[in-house]
Amino acid sequence: MRTASPFLAGKFRDIVTRIGAAFREQREIEARRVLERYRQLVEQPSELLPLNDVIPACREEDISGHANQPAAHEQSAGHPTFERA
């Protein structure tokens, strides 16, 4: 069985090394492009609301103050109004 000469084996290793380096460099370039494109998603926002902080939609007084009043559609329809339970 024939074996390759040391010169050809070294040349082959050199080619494979160069191809591997080119692939790595291309992946680095592509990774930089992706990071630049989606930078706003990766960066941490300066002010974050805590997850358990609830923003109230209305005040408690508004809810309890209108609890016994009839709904607007009941008044305008001319139907008798009943007190809501």
Q: How many domains does the chain have?
A: 1
Per-residue pLDDT, averaged over 33-50, amounts to 78
Helices (H), 38-65: 39-42, 60-65
In a domain, 75, yes or no: no
Could you tell me if residue 5 is inside a domain?
A: yes
Q: Average pLDDT, stretch 61-71?
A: 59
Which has the higher per-residue pLDDT, 76 or 2?
2
In a domain, 69, yes or no: no
pLDDT in the model for residue 50: 63
Sign of CA dihedral 54, 59, 64, 67: negative
Domain membership flag for residue 71: no
In a domain, 27, yes or no: yes
In this prediction, residues 12-17 reach a mean pLDDT of 96
Residue 51 in domain: no
Tell whether the model's pLDDT for residue 40 goes beyond 60.
yes
Is residue 68 within 8 Å of 83, Cβ to Cβ?
yes
DSSP designation for 3: -
- In a domain, residue 81? The reply is no
Report the first-to-last Cα separation within the chain, whole angstroms.
98
Domain that holds residue 19: 1-42
